[in-house]
Amino acid sequence: MEAFNDAYNFFNKDKTGCIDLHGLMCTVAKLGMTLSKYDIYNELKCADLDRDGKVNFSDFIKVLTDKDRFLRAVVPEKKTCLDFAGNPGILLFEILSKLVETSALPRKTIMEIVR
């Protein structure tokens, strides 16, 4: 759980400690990813499981431990590969993958995540 907390802390968050649209847009830009505001908004809606307009830590954990979303993220259909409009709900996985790939998280965290 600590590894997911480290990953969650990488995201820009609002004053309540939740990831909102602005925070998700900033995080995507910080990682050099290019997505439209529309795609980011739709990804936020997919990750906002309690429908409060933000992604809290509970939403974050539930999304990243959802087996169906995980499979869509790591084994996308050929026609939807990295197309967020055609394969919604995978942005948090893409960000987590980028954090691991770029060693933006502590080594211990990376080892826990990839285990």
The tens digit of pLDDT for each residue in 45-98 reads 999 999 999 999 999 999 999 998 888 887 766 554 455 555 778 999 999 999
Residue 91 is predicted with a pLDDT of 93
**DSSP label at residue 65:** T
Residue 80 is predicted with a pLDDT of 47
Residue 78 is predicted with a pLDDT of 54
Average pLDDT over residues 9-19: 96
Handedness of CA 8, 115, 96, 107 (dihedral sign): positive
Residue 85 is predicted with a pLDDT of 52
The span from the CA of 22 to the CA of 114, in Å, is 28
In the chain, where are the structural domains located? 2-114
Query: Which one is predicted more confidently, 84 or 2?
Result: 2
Proportion of the chain in helix, strand, coil states, percent, rounded to 5 = 60, 0, 40
Give, in order, the Cα–Cα distances in Å from 67 to each of 21, 31, 62: 24, 25, 10
What superfamily would CATH give domain 2-114?
EF-hand (1.10.238.10)
Q: Is the pLDDT of residue 101 over 50?
A: yes
Tokens of 84: 């967020």
Residue 76 is predicted with a pLDDT of 62
Percent of the chain residues topping a pLDDT of 70: 90
**CB-count exposure of residue 8 (10 Å: 0-12, 13-18, 19+):** buried
